[in-house]
Amino acid sequence: MTATRGLEGIVAAESSICSIVDGVLCYGGINIDELAEHATFEEVVYLLWHGALPKRDQLETLKKQLGEAAAVPAEVIDSIRKYPQGIHPMAALRTAVSSLALYDKEAQDMSPEANYRKAIRLMAQTPTLIAAYARLRKGLEPVAPKADYTIAKNFLYMLKGEEPTETAIKALDVALILHADHELNASTFAARVTVATLTDIYSGIVSAIGTLKGPLHGGANEAVAKMLTEIGTMDKVEGYVRNKLDNKEKIMGFGHRVYKDGDPRAKWLKQMSKALTAQIGRPELYEMSVKIDDMVTGEKGLKPNVDFYSASVYISLGLEIDLFTPIFAISRMSGWTAHIMEQYENNRLIRPRADYTGPVGKHYVPIDQR
Ligand code: ACO
């Protein structure tokens, strides 16, 4: 037995949700470029869950279900009030989603219908939890969701307590579409491994959130924003990147396990970054990003991934830097739940083997002889 480090190139599941073939990303067979241009996030959620775009009445039903499910139990909000200061919002989200399960009477119901209803609740309530936590940590009361708002609009509304602009709603909606699914990325794989033991959907999502939190995965968007802040001005870019490259340090937002020739989502975020940073009068954020991109691509041949330009997009929307990864989680909740439901449909325990490299033939030694 020989191990494949990081399971690179290993095909670990069959799935009809999302494909990456020759660098082209599709959800349910539809190119991500078409979805980013024409779809809404709710249509994409339906597509991931059902394998086809919704007809008008199906979309209206889903939007109604999501809107009506967006409020979270008061007990969960009360428990968030008691979280210690200074924790990372992804840690708060991991705990808050876990506590949603405690108040869900269907938490242990493994029927496909109950799991679909729980997927709706998880999708609808994740933005509410994040917005509530973001306000409570600043001493502000949470803002209740509105049942007739889309996920992007509701999240921005609950976060800031005021009506968001159409530009902000559209930008967030497109970002949510772009991050919604990515076949067996680390967090989705973690979710599938978890539920393949036939544990409940909430346990799978908690695994996924914990996995997305890491800087090599979803946490990279926050790391990119911190890097832009640390660099500060255009004249410092070259020295900063040079230093990182010379010290063989990773530059966040670059490289990808699957895409070696560029991430198809990055061009959309780059375009949005250019427009939005200009609109807020901070074009230097885009210009610095392009310069970093040119240097890293030019010297290392590494292309920006989905996280690189999303950082300047979210800064332009006035979002706090440590909320970037939770926003990724809002989007990826659609993909995680789709994959969990697909795993349950055709389940087999996921249990690989390890290539043992430790000592052999040793014996137990009594404690006073060691
Ligand atoms: N900056 C500098 N060098 C890099 C980078 C980077 N961002 N990414 C990869 N490399 C280098 C590695 O140092 C390594 O070089 P070596 O062969 O000389 O040792 C080589 O490229 C291969 O890199 P690995 O880390 O082995 O590639 P892997 O496929 O395991 O990792 C990953 C992919 C984790 C995305 C990696 O490129 C990385 O750490 N990027 C930065 C973090 C990041 O942006 N994560 C978000 C990914 S997208 C997402 O999850 C949503």
Statement to judge: residues 173 and 83 lie in one domain: yes
93 in a structural domain: yes
Residue nearest atom 24 of ligand 1, based on CA coordinates: 257
Q: Dump pLDDT digits (tens) for 147-161.
A: 999 999 999 999 999
**Arithmetic mean of pLDDT, 296-322:** 96
362 in a structural domain: no
Statement to judge: residues 151 and 34 lie in one domain: yes
- Beta-carbon neighbour count of residue 322 at 10 Å? 18
Q: Count of domains in the chain?
A: 2
For residue 244 and ligand 1, the question of a CB distance below 6 A is answered with: no
- Beta-carbon neighbour count of residue 233 at 10 Å? 8
> What percentage of the chain has pLDDT greater than the value 90?
99
Q: Dump pLDDT digits (tens) for 93-134.
A: 999 999 999 999 999 999 999 999 999 999 999 999 999 999
For residue 198 and ligand 1, the question of a CB distance below 6 A is answered with: no
Q: Cα(222)–Cα(244) distance, rounded to whole angstroms?
A: 18
Q: Which residues contact 42 (CB under 8 A, 6 or more apart)?
A: 59, 62, 63, 66, 150, 151
- 206 confidence band (pLDDT: 50, 70, 90): very high
DSSP string, 311-346: HHHHHHTT--GGGHHHHHHHHHHHHHHHHHHHHHHT
Statement to judge: residues 150 and 280 lie in one domain: no
Statement to judge: residues 208 and 241 lie in one domain: no
Statement to judge: residues 194 and 274 lie in one domain: no
pLDDT of residue 1: 80
Statement to judge: residues 51 and 184 lie in one domain: yes
Residue 279 CA, distance from chain mean position:
26
- Ligand 1 centroid vs 57 CA: distance in angstroms? 44
For residue 303 and ligand 1, the question of a CB distance below 6 A is answered with: no
- 260 confidence band (pLDDT: 50, 70, 90): confident
ipTM computed for the complex: 0.97
pLDDT of residue 238: 95
Find residue 21's DSSP bridge partners: 24
Q: Which residue has the tokens 């497109």?
A: 174
Statement to judge: residues 277 and 298 lie in one domain: yes
List the one residue out of 57, 242, 67, 53 whose CA is nearest residue 144.
Answer: 67
Catalytic site includes residue 148: no
Q: What is the CATH number of the domain that holds 290?
A: 1.10.230.10
8 in a structural domain: no
Q: Cα(51)–Cα(65) distance, rounded to whole angstroms?
A: 18
- Ligand 1 centroid vs 304 CA: distance in angstroms? 11
For residue 308 and ligand 1, the question of a CB distance below 6 A is answered with: no
Q: Does residue 314 contact residue 277 with C-beta atoms inside 8 Å? A: no
User: For a substitution probing ligand 1, which of 20, 211, 212, 254 has the most ligand atoms within 8 Å of its CB?
Assistant: 254
Residues spanned by the domain of 127: 16-214+330-345
Q: What is the SS3 assignment for 285?
A: helix
Statement to judge: residues 204 and 233 lie in one domain: no
- Ligand 1 centroid vs 4 CA: distance in angstroms? 17
Residue nearest atom 29 of ligand 1, based on CA coordinates: 257
Q: Does residue 293 contact residue 267 with C-beta atoms inside 8 Å? A: no
**Arithmetic mean of pLDDT, 63-76:** 98
Q: What is the CATH number of the domain that holds 154?
A: 1.10.580.10
370 in a structural domain: no
Statement to judge: residues 162 and 48 lie in one domain: yes
Statement to judge: residues 52 and 111 lie in one domain: yes
Q: Cα(252)–Cα(317) distance, rounded to whole angstroms?
A: 21
288 in a structural domain: yes
pLDDT of residue 19: 98
Structure tokens, 368? 């006073």
Statement to judge: residues 236 and 133 lie in one domain: no
Catalytic site residue from 256, 293, 322, 339 = 256
List the one residue out of 177, 191, 230 whose CA is nearest residue 48.
Answer: 177
Q: Is 108 exposed, middle or buried (0-12, 13-18, 19+ CB in 10 A)?
A: exposed
- Ligand 1 centroid vs 249 CA: distance in angstroms? 10
Catalytic site includes residue 38: no
Q: What is the SS3 assignment for 256?
A: coil
Global pTM?
Answer: 0.96
Q: Which residues contact 352 (CB under 8 A, 6 or more apart)?
A: none
Q: Is residue 298 scored above 90 in pLDDT?
A: yes
Mean pLDDT of the chain: 97
